[in-house]
A and B are shown apart, each in its own frame.
Chain A
Amino acid sequence: MSSKMYHQFACSSMLLPEHRELLNRLQRESRRQEEIRLPDFDQQQQEEWQQLLERSWRENRPLRVTYLNGTGCITRRGPALPPLSHPPRLRLKTEQGPVTIPAGLVIALELD
Chain B
Amino acid sequence: MVPDRSKLIFLADMESFYASVETSLNPAWRGKPVVVCGDPERRRGIVLAASKEAKAYGIKTGFLAGEYRRLCPEVILVKPRMHTYLQFSLRIMEIFRQFSDRVLPYSIDELFLDMTGCEKLFGPPQEMAREMIRRVWEETGIRCRIGIGENPLQAKMACDCFAKKSSEGIFALNHENYAFYTWPLPVSSLFGVGSRMERHFQRMAIRTIGHLARLPRESLRRRWGVNGEILWLNAHGIDYSTISPATASEEQKGVSHNMTLPRDYVKESEIKVVLLELCEEVCFRARALGKMGRTVSVYCRGADFRHSSGFLRQQRLPEPTAAAHQVYPWVLDLFFRHWDRKPLRALGIRLSSLTDCREVQLSLFDNREKTEALYRAMDLVRAKFGRTSLFRASSLTAGAQLFDRANKIGGHEA
Contacts and interface: CB of A to CB of B under 8 A. Distances in A.
Chain A partners chain B: yes
Interface residues of B, number: 39
A21 B242 CA distance: 22
Nearest to B101: A30
A84 interface: no
Given A2-B226, A4-B230, A15 B105 contact: yes
Interface of B: 1, 82-83, 86, 89-90, 104-108, 112, 152-153, 156, 192, 226-227, 229-230, 233, 239-242, 245-253, 255, 257, 285, 409-410
Interface of A is mostly: helix
Given A10-B241, A27-B249, A5 B105 contact: no
A14 B245 CA distance: 15
Contacts of A6: 240-242
A96 interface: no
A15 B86 CA distance: 10
Interface string A63-105: 0000000000000000000000000000000000000000000
Contacts of A26: 90, 249
Interface residues of A, number: 24
Central interface residue in B82, B105, B152, by most chain A CB within 10 Å:
B105
Contacts of A20: 248-249, 252
Given A10-B247, A13-B248, A19-B89, 18 more contacts: A2-B226, A4-B227, A5-B229, A5-B233, A6-B242, A7-B241, A8-B230, A9-B152, A10-B251, A11-B253, A13-B106, A16-B86, A16-B108, A18-B409, A19-B86, A20-B252, A22-B90, A23-B249
A8 B239 contact: yes
Contact of A5 (B226, B245, B246, B248): B226
Central interface residue in B90, B152, B241, by most chain A CB within 10 Å:
B241
Contacts of A12: 192
Contacts, number: 80
A4 B352 CA distance: 14
A15 B112 CA distance: 13
A60 interface: no
19 contacts: A2-B229, A4-B227, A4-B230, A5-B230, A6-B240, A7-B247, A8-B192, A10-B241, A10-B251, A13-B106, A13-B248, A15-B105, A16-B82, A16-B108, A17-B257, A18-B409, A19-B89, A26-B90, A26-B249
7 tightest Cβ-Cβ pairs between the two chains A and B = A2-B226, A14-B107, A23-B249, A10-B247, A16-B410, A24-B249, A27-B249
Contacts of B233: 5
B106 A18 contact: no
Given A20-B249, A20-B252, A5 B240 contact: yes
A8 B241 contact: yes
Given A9-B104, A9-B152, A10-B241, A16 B1 contact: no
Nearest to B254: A11
B329 to A, nearest CB: 24
Contacts of B252: 20
A94 to B, nearest CB: 34
B409 A16 contact: yes
B245 A27 contact: yes
A66 B409 CA distance: 43
A71 to B, nearest CB: 21
A23 B248 contact: yes
Contacts of B285: 17
Given A4-B226, A7-B247, A18 B152 contact: no
Nearest to A12: B192
